């Protein structure tokens, strides 16, 4: 149980185009999902927290107009990188939160490798 999928796993796009990445919780409902970015040989940096039915909360320094997040249902959150540039090339990982009593667990997707040429 608690499987998170991402699609696509790998995408190459031209500079100036937009790319959408999907994150799905396959066997549970997630009111909260997180989007992370990971640069080569570096840790995960939280970009934003996505709440179902409301606007995402972005971390400091993350451009909300560039990284559009939509959490339209309890099992799907999408990250759209608008007008992508080579510096947006990175590994993007989503995570879904499941409440368990007084605490919660986070389950991670397999990641999406974005390359902007």
Partner 1 sequence: AQSVAQPEDQVNVAEGNPLTVKCTYSVSGNPYLFWYVQYPNRGLQFLLKYITGDNLVKGSYGFEAEFNKSQTSFHLKKPSALVSDSALYFCAVRNTGTASKLTFGTGTRLQVTL
Residues that bind partner 1 (CB under 8 A): 4, 6, 34, 41-44, 46, 49, 91, 93, 95, 102-111, 113
Which of 105, 116, 94 has its CA nearest to residue 48?
94
| Cβ proximity to partner 1, 57 vs 82, nearer residue | 57
Tell me whether residue 59 or residue 74 sits nearer to partner 1 (CB atom).
59
Query: CB under 8 Å to 8, separation ≥6 — which residues?
Result: 21, 112
Beta bridge partners of 4: 25
Collapsing DSSP to helix, strand or coil, 86 comes out as helix
Q: Least distance to partner 1 from the beta carbon of 54, Å?
A: 14
Output 47 or 116, the one with its CB closest to partner 1: 47
Instruction: Say if residues 82 and 60 touch (Cβ distance below 8 Å).
Output: no
CB of 106 to partner 1, least distance (A): 6
């Amino acid at each position: 149980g608690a499987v998170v999928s991402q699609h696509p796993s790998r995408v190459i796009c031209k500079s100036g185009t937009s790319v959408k990445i999907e994150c799905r919780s396959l066997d549970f409902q997630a009111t909260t999902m997180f989007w992370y970015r990971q640069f080569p040989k570096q840790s995960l940096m939280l970009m934003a927290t996505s709440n179902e039915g409301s606007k995402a909360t972005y971390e400091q320094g993350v451009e909300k107009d560039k990284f559009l997040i939509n959490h339209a249902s309890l099992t799907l959150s999408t990250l759209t990188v608008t007008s992508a540039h080579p510096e947006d090339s990175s590994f993007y990982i989503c995570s879904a939160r499941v409440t368990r009593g007084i605490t919660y667990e986070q389950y991670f997707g397999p990641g999406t490798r974005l390359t902007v040429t």
